[in-house]
Each structure stands twice: as structure tokens, then as C-alpha cells.
Amino acid sequence: MKIAIAGAGAMGSRIGLMLHQAGNEVILIDRWADHINAIREKGLIGEFEDHEVVAHLPIYSPEEIVEDHANVELVIALTKSMQLEAMFQDIQPIIGEKTFVFCLLNGLGHEETLAKFVPKENIIFGTTTWTAGLAGPGHAKLVGSGSIEMENLDPKGKAFTLKVLEVFQKAKLNPIYSNNVRYSIWKKACINGTLNGLCTILDCNIADFGSLSVAKNLIEAIVGEFAEVAKAEGIRLDQPQVIQAVEATYDIKTQGLHFPSMYQDLIRNHRKTEIDYINGAVWEKGKKHQIETPYCSFLTQLIHGKEELLNAK
Ligand code: NAD
């Protein structure tokens, strides 16, 4: 399959590399000049736990993407949330009538953004438990394993989505066809909407957060707000099950010693966060449905305050 990765940072590099290794024709699209130059000079380095691969993948900035690539069958969106719209504005030339877009970003509200550029029947949504990091430009660090849930937004997109599932299976990306991907997206947003912001503001890892006497109250309050807003949007979250999924991450044998991605972005690298697409999205959607979301609004503003203090870019 001819596949473009729109946003070839940490996760885009992982998915792009694995699809390339399985024999697909993969092109990368990214705006980061040092990353583009490194990949053009030395190839994309994928440092797995027990081996390293170097893939000489073509990489373009969005401005360089022209009709030459109009036969791309699948575009996998993997920018950060706040970068999605600009990316799709720029890559319009490669999005034809038959091009499908698979959105694997974390967060809420991406359906509305993509609908501006792609017909609903050509949109696939998903969530993933794979992770990835960058050691530097052109160098992805790829530890652990994961899986990917996917589902077409419109029944007309099912046949192509099943083809994508097969392609992902061959790439050992452990895909699962979901019957309710919106539920999974909201559930994952709850996990990110609690641990990301709270560990960032409290300056601690997940296990330390979980050991706090206030942890349970905070989690219940935030998940409660997500559940109320999700219900107004037609999704009934099973709150005890979601809270259990959050608490399962406290275990130091699994993710407990990990600092969430928002912590790494903001505290370590002074990068702007995806908060507006997690707690901020619940706050915004809550306003639309006249639902009060004081915890989400407070946490969103605290994170924005921290972004200002750290002059995050
Ligand atoms: P990242 O910052 O490493 O990668 C995003 C890339 O997109 C960057 O290289 C950036 O240069 C590029 N980009 C952004 N806007 C662009 C534009 N307009 N034109 C061209 N290039 C542009 O981020 P990431 O960690 O790979 O995360 C991507 C998404 O996946 C996020 O929604 C994140 O929450 C989600 N996610 C990440 C992980 C992880 O372990 N890293 C795991 C699961 C989900």
C-alpha cells in the first residue's frame, strides 16, 4: 500500500518504519528541518530494544508534497493535536477522492478538524498503546510493544479499513477492528486527562501520583466530568472501569515509573502541550451542552499557566 505519514515525529517514525519493513511504500511528511536533513543524509534510524534498523525513506516538508504523490492510498495523521489542521491544509494536493485518512492522535475533537478536509466515508479513527520517543533528529527510540484499534467513521469505509487492518497485521502492529472506537478514544482521553495534567502540575511520576491520599478524589472528579460530557455526545463511559484503567497504570512493574508524555513535553522540553484537546476539549464541549466542568477547566488553565512560565514553544 502507498502510505504517507503526516507528522513523522516519534510515533510517525515508529509506524512508518514498521509499515516500510513489511514492504509498503511509505513516505514521510514533516516540517522539522533537522529531522528532514538527518533522514535524507543517513536514513531514519529505528533503535529497537535488541536491534537497530536504518530505513532510507523519502521525507518531504508539506510544501514539497505535490500532485506527484496524489496516488497515496492512506495518510496516517500523527502530528500533535494542535498541529493537525495546519498539516491538512498543507497536504491538500495529495488528498484525492479515494485517499483515506487514519487519525491516530490522542485527544478529542479531531473528527471535526478532519471533516473539513476529508469526506467522512474516507476517515478511519484509532487509538494505540504503542509508544515511541526521539533520541534526536532522524533517530527514533522504539521500546516495548503495543496494539492499535481502528474503525471507519462511516459504514462505507469498512472495506478499505479491513484492508488497512491486514496491512497493519503484516507489519506486526497488532491491529484490532473496533466496534466502538469513539468509546476507546474517550477512555484513552480519560487516562491522559487525569495522569498527564496532574503529574505535570504535581511534578511526579505515575506511581508517586497514585500513592497520594488525594489521588482517588481527583481521578473520580475528572473522570466524572469526562463521563457527563461524553454522555451528552452519545457515549456512555463505564466510570468504574475507566477509573480502574487509570489506577492500573500506577503499578511500578508496568507504567508507574514513567513520566507522562505531557510532563516530558512541557517540563523537560518546554514544548506546548495537547491539553486543549484533552481536558480543554471537555471544558469546551461542556459549555456547548451546559455542563459545568470545573476540574477540567482549572487543570487546563494551570497547564497553560505552566506553559507561559516555561515559555513553551
Ligand atoms: P512528535 O512531536 O514527536 O511528532 C509530531 C511531528 O509532527 C513532529 O515531528 C513535527 O515536526 C511534525 N509536524 C507538526 N506539525 C506539522 C506540520 N504542519 N507540517 C509538517 N510537520 C508537522 O509527537 P508524537 O509523540 O509522535 O505524537 C503524535 C501524536 O501521537 C500525539 O497526538 C500523541 O499524543 C500521540 N501518541 C504519542 C505516543 C508516544 O509514545 N509518543 C503514544 C501514543 C499516542
Q: Which residue has the cell 533517530?
A: 139
Atom of ligand 1 nearest to the CA of 129: 43
Give the C-alpha separation, 85 to 304, whole Å: 20
Q: Which residue has the cell 503495543?
A: 146
Residue 16, ligand 1, Cβ within 6 A:
no
Q: Which domains does the chain have, with CATH numbers?
A: 2-179 (3.40.50.720), 182-309 (1.10.1040.10)
HSE, CB side, 13 Å, CA atoms: give it for residue 273: 32
pTM, two decimal places: 0.96
Parts of the chain with a pLDDT under 70:
67
The pLDDT value recorded for residue 70 is: 75
Residues 29, 60: contact at Cβ < 8 Å? yes
How far is ligand 1, taken at its centre, from the CA of residue 214, in Å?
32
Annotated catalytic residue, options 80, 141, 187, 188: 188
**Residue 223 backbone dihedrals phi, psi, to 5 degrees:** -60, -35
In angstroms, the Cα distances linking 216 to 123, 209, 243 are 37, 10, 9
Atom of ligand 1 nearest to the CA of 271: 2
How far is ligand 1, taken at its centre, from the CA of residue 17, in Å?
15
Q: Which of 75, 79, 187 to mutate to test the pocket of ligand 1 (most atoms within 8 A of CB)?
A: 79
Instruction: Compute CA 282 distance to the chain's CA centroid, rounded to the nearest angstrom.
Output: 17
Is 188 a residue of the active site?
A: yes
SS3 sequence of 82-130: HHHHHHHHHCHHHCCCCCEEEECCCCCCHHHHHHCCCCHHHEEEEEECC
The pLDDT value recorded for residue 68 is: 73
Give the C-alpha separation, 159 to 303, whole Å: 41
Residue type, 137: P
Closest residue to atom 42 of ligand 1, CA basis: 131
**Bridge-partner residues for 103, per DSSP?**
77, 125
- Helix, coil or strand: residue 253: coil
**Bridge-partner residues for 29, per DSSP?**
6, 60
Atom of ligand 1 nearest to the CA of 87: 18
Closest residue to atom 30 of ligand 1, CA basis: 105
Residues 76, 6: contact at Cβ < 8 Å? yes
Residue 265, ligand 1, Cβ within 6 A:
no
Report the sign of the C-alpha dihedral through residues 143, 100, 30, 278, in that order.
Answer: negative
Other CB atoms within 10 Å distance of the CB of residue 63: 9
Residue 106, ligand 1, Cβ within 6 A:
yes
Closest residue to atom 38 of ligand 1, CA basis: 131
